[in-house]
Chains A and B, each alone.
Chain A
Amino acid sequence: MSTQFYNEMYDAAGTLRPHYQAFAEWLAAMPPERLARKQVEADTAFHRVGITFAVYGEEAGTERLIPFDIIPRIIPAAEWTALQAGLWQRVKALNAFLNDIYHEQEILRAGRIPAEQVLNNAQFRSEMMGVDVPSGIYAHIAGVDIVRAGAGESYVLEDNLRVPSGVSYMIEDRKMMMRLFPELFSRHMIAPVQHYPDMLLENLRTVAPKGVTNPTVVLLTPGAYNSAYFEHTFLAQQMGIELVEGRDLFVKDETVFMRTTQGPQRVDVIYRRLDDDFLDPLVFNKESMLGVPGLLSAYRAGHVTLANAIGAGVADDKSIYPYVPEMIRFYLGEEPTLNNVPTWMLRKPDDLKYVLAHLSELVVKEVHGAGGYGMLVGPASTAAEIEDFRTRIIAAPEKYIAQPTLALSNCPTFVESGIAPRHLDLRPFVLSGKQIGMVPGGLTRVALREGSLVVNSSQGGGTKDTWVLEN
């Protein structure tokens, strides 16, 4: 066992952690051939059901499976309780921040965050100024990426507040584990996650426009060629709501309707999996064929709720990320319980100087990048790659941030050579409406290549079932 990284299953002395005890006994008794057979069974089943994602940059319409690993990631109850409290605190502060900057902007006037960082941000939507949204909630669904590093302390890597995806894999992974290894579920008290779609629907219903008692909720997808289309169909089906595309909707008298075989039907809440830019061609990207002309006018009039709200992206922008602890102190009067990763903002000359001198040790990310595209992992890069990145940084330093390379925790994973440790992260999904809630756990992503720290599915990452143990 490597001692350099925190291992989820064994401590530094190589002793099994107590919450993995029962699993390890089961694993030891399991013949390797049977395990290998189960892995094949899982892959076949995922393929047959068509749980795939599209890969950008490859031949159009290429669909790939996200590899599923049969060794679960286990989180003890006490650890989860603390993590959940930290997540709620963080998401509450982020929603308060969004409500503030689109209204009074007190945090800017108090000088706690530089105003230009917010107001000049490409994700800040001035169209949202003064618009009241139900319950003051902007980020109804937040997918907060958590990693463990060092001696096991948790860090928030990023707050995904736009259209976070991955929750369908959380549910499908659980279904798969229950199918493959039912005996494990009688040996452990594992908190269920399959009711997530019910919680989500209930959450969306609570943020319906004022006066609507029995809201019609729909899921808006960019269409079958989107990388997360499987998830869109999955969630719509699980919630029993219509999966709509922009062309299915139209706006009349500042009200949104969908075209049905029985004529137009009013829509009250739109769970949209479409970026801000594409939502309304009258206001945002004029070229967008995916959106609904006039949607913003209906939204501003309060006749329809969008989840997440337009303009929520400003709060998860990497240039705003360093200020989240400050938000928690400002709005909640509390100390943050989850750590932020120390971040250098390259628009600051001192930070830039330091980072350029230490590129080979650091992770550099594009401020507006996502999905593991456009980032440099210093220690894993060649000299040429580093020099290439250096040129790009110097050309536009404000587009980048840098962070120390975290020694991400790892967990035993079933790979070709047998069972070996691989690095992972965790994306829990926090639901905010009239109340805040979540299912225990989230999506564990694992970097399947040896030594790799990049867990994104577009970069060869896989997933694991995530167990939160109940006491």
Chain B
Amino acid sequence: MLSRTADHLYWMARYTERAENLARLLDVSYQMSLVPQSVAAQNENWRAILALNSLEAAFAEVYDEVNVDNVLRFMVADPANPSSIYTCLRAARENAHAVRGTLTAEMWESVNATWIELRQQTFEQIHSRGVSEFFDWVKLRSAVIRGVTFGTMLKDDSLHFIRLGGLLERGDNTARILDMQYHILRNGDEGASDFYRWGALLRSVSAFQVYRKVYRDAITPGRVAELLILRMDMPRSLHACADGIVHMLQLIANGASAETERQAGVLHARLHFARIDDVLTSGLHEYLTDFMDRIYDLGDGISRDFLVPA
């Protein structure tokens, strides 16, 4: 298939997935901010969200103060923020528009309708209805788009590039969410409120019930990390994403992609054969940073080999 077409499909999927995970991240942060704590500690959490996306400077240009309302407005609906949900869904729609002939009619319509519906809402409207409802809507639209994609698209390279983009983005995003929350939780006061926070983190990646089912035991940081990093059967875990990436790369391989395939294989092996105790001992933050760097390099390789060849 045409490299540019693959590029648009891949980025359409990445932006859709990014919007969904952003909704998940903001939702969990919002939920956690409801747990009793000092205003200063709360705002520290919102600052961490900006830092996670390297957005402190862009934010400071427009807003005076880091607080829940400002950060939500900035991350949800600000067209000037390159990483807002608004911007992500617009980018997803623009990428889809550029290759709408490649998409099934239902797919194009679901991506387009999501954008049209989003564009019609102001932040005030979103806020007055409750931001959680909005985050649910984003997750639902992402699920609809994913469902229509798998339910209607021919299983050819178009679908493989869509899946590849989604998996890469999801792996990166899960690592980011975990890294940030883990950091906050480790630095927080020990106590009963931690239970709610870990619960909220698990819920943000739809893993609360999964956790209960898998461990049938109290929520501990180590087990949460294990679930989200190493469990192959947990669809949003790093291991599951890496596994899917390796598989997709096999399906689309060309004469130039051997090195990228090798790197994906290494990444997968590091997850497949890892033990959570080792990961925690050597430092979770370091481990996650390394993972994100590797994902970044894979994205680079995929661009070079398939999407934007010289």
A48-B109, A49-B105, A50-B112 as given contacts; A242 in contact with B97, CB under 8 Å: no
* B3, A260: Cβ atoms closer than 8 Å: yes
A244 contacts partner chain B, Cβ-Cβ < 8 Å: yes
B46 within 8 A of A: no
- Tell me if A178 counts as interface (CB < 8 A to partner B): no
Q: Is the CB of B98 within 8 A of A242?
A: no
Does A258 belong to the interface (CB within 8 Å)? Answer: yes
* CB-nearest residue of chain B to A241: B101
Q: Which of B3, B101, B157, B309 has the most CB of A within 10 A?
A: B101
Within A215-265, the residues touching B (CB, 8 Å) are 223-224, 232-234, 236-237, 242-245, 247-248, 258-263
Q: Which residue of A lies closest to B3 (CB)?
A: A259
On whether the beta carbons of B109 and A49 are closer than 8 Å, the reply is yes
**A244: chain B residues within 8 A (beta carbon):** 2, 4
**Known contacts A245-B4, A248-B2, A259 near B100 by CB under 8 Å:** no
B1 touches A261 (CB 8 A): yes
B219-271 CB contacts (< 8 Å) to partner A: 252, 254-256
Bound complex: CA of A245 vs CA of B101, how far in Å? 13
> Chain B: how many interface residues by the 8 Å CB criterion?
27
Find B2's partner among A48, A224, A259 (CB 8 Å cutoff).
Answer: A259
Interface residues of B in 135-159 (CB under 8 A from A): 157
Contacts of A259 in B (CB 8 A): 2-4, 309
Q: Which listed residue (B99, B100, B105, B306) contacts A261, Cβ 8 A?
A: B306
B5 within 8 A of A: yes
B98 touches A234 (CB 8 A): no
Contacts of A258 in B (CB 8 A): 2
| Residues of B contacting A243 in the complex (Cβ-Cβ under 8 angstroms) | 2, 5, 99, 101-102
Considering only residues 27-79 of chain A, those with a C-beta below 8 Å from chain B are: 48-50
Query: What is the size category of the interface that chain A forms with chain B?
Result: 20 to 34
Q: How far is the CB of A50 from chain B (nearest CB, A)?
A: 6
Tell me if B182 is interfacial: C-beta within 8 Å of chain A: no
Say yes or no: B4 contacts A50, CB within 8 Å: no
**CB-CB under 8 A for A260 and B2, given A49-B105, A49-B109:** yes
Residue A263 contacts which of B5, B157, B254, B307 (CB distance < 8 angstroms)? Answer: B254
Given the complex, which residues of A lie within 8 Å of B1, measured CB to CB?
242, 260-262
B162 at the interface (CB under 8 A from A): no
Q: Which residues of A contact B101 (CB under 8 A)?
A: 232-234, 236-237, 243
Q: Which of B95-143 contact A (CB under 8 A)?
A: 97-102, 105, 108-109, 112-113
Q: Which residue of chain B lies nearest to A240 when distances are taken between CB atoms in the complex?
A: B101
Q: A263 vs B105: C-alpha distance in the bound complex, in angstroms?
A: 28
Docked-complex contact A261 and B3, CB < 8 angstroms:
yes
Separation in Å of the A175 CB from the closest CB of chain B?
12
Query: Hey, what's the 0/1 contact readout for A168-185 against B, CB within 8 Å counting as 1?
Result: 000000000000000000
**Chain A contacts of B89 at CB under 8 A?**
none
Q: How many A-B pairs with Cβ below 8 Å? A: 58
Q: How far apart sit A242 and B307, CA to CA, in the bound complex (Å)?
A: 15
For A243, give the chain B residue with the smallest CB separation.
Answer: B101
- Is B71 close to A, CB under 8 A? no
Q: How distant is the Cα of A45 from the Cα of B280 in the complex, in angstroms?
A: 55
Q: Are B3 and A224 in contact (CB under 8 A)?
A: no
Min CB–CB distance A22 → chain B (angstroms): 32
Contact B2 A233 (CB under 8 A): no
Output the nearest chain B residue to A233 by Cβ-Cβ distance.
B101
Residues A242 and B105 in contact, CB atoms below 8 Å apart:
no
Q: Which residues of A contact B98 (CB under 8 A)?
A: 223-224
Question: Is there contact, CB below 8 Å, between B112 and A242?
Answer: no
CA distance A224 to B112 in the complex (A): 15
Instruction: Bits for B25-45, please: 1 = Cβ < 8 Å to A, else 0.
Output: 000000000000000000000
Minimum CB–CB distance from A269 to chain B (whole Å) comes to 16
Residues of B within 8 A of A237 (CB): 101-102
Q: For A47, give the chain B residue with the smallest CB separation.
A: B116
Alpha-carbon gap, A49 to B108, bound state (A): 8
Query: Does B77 touch A at the CB level, under 8 Å?
Result: no
B169-181 contact mask (Cβ, 8 Å, vs A): 1 or 0: 0000000000000
Contact with A along B1-12 (1 / 0, CB 8 A): 111111000000
Closest to A237 in B: B101
Task: Give Cα A258 to B2, complex, Å.
Answer: 7
**Chain B residue nearest to A245 in the complex (CB):** B4
Query: In this complex, what residue of B is CB-closest to A265?
Result: B2
**Smallest beta-carbon distance A61→chain B, Å:** 10
Q: Chain A nearest CB: distance from B292 CB in Å? A: 25
**Separation in Å of the B3 CB from the closest CB of chain A?**
4
CB neighbours (8 Å) of A247 from chain B are 4
Q: Which residues does chain B contribute within 8 Å of A263, judged by CB atoms?
A: 254-256, 309
Q: Shortest CB–CB separation between residue B90 and chain A, in angstroms?
A: 12
Question: Contact at B254–A242, with CB atoms within 8 Å?
Answer: no
B105: chain A residues at CB < 8 Å are: 49
Closest-CB distance, B301 to chain A (whole angstroms): 13
Q: How far is the CA of A263 from the CA of B310 in the complex (A)?
A: 10
Tell which of B3, B97, B100 touches A248, judged by Cβ atoms closer than 8 Å: B3
Q: Which residues of B contact A262 (CB under 8 A)?
A: 1, 254
A232 to chain B: which residues have CB within 8 Å? 101
Could you tell me the distance between the alpha carbons of A237 and B99 in the complex, rounded to whole angstroms?
10
CB distance from B298 to the nearest CB of A (A): 16
| Smallest CB separation, B148 vs chain A (Å) | 14
Residue ID in chain B nearest A247 by CB atoms:
B4
Nearest 10 interchain pairs by C-beta: A233-B101, A237-B101, A259-B3, A261-B306, A261-B6, A236-B101, A262-B254, A248-B4, A242-B2, A224-B98
List residues of A whose CB falls within 8 A of some B CB. 48-50, 223-224, 232-234, 236-237, 242-245, 247-248, 258-263
Q: B-side interface residues toward A, CB under 8 Å?
A: 1-6, 94, 97-102, 105, 108-109, 112-113, 157, 161, 252, 254-256, 306-307, 309
23 A/B residue pairs, CB under 8 Å, sorted by A? A50-B100, A50-B109, A50-B112, A224-B98, A233-B101, A242-B2, A243-B2, A243-B5, A243-B101, A247-B4, A248-B2, A258-B2, A259-B2, A259-B4, A260-B1, A260-B3, A261-B2, A261-B157, A261-B161, A261-B252, A262-B1, A263-B254, A263-B309
Additional A-B contact list (9), CB under 8 Å, known A49-B105, A259-B4, A260-B1 = A50-B108, A50-B112, A224-B94, A242-B5, A243-B101, A261-B6, A261-B306, A261-B307, A263-B255
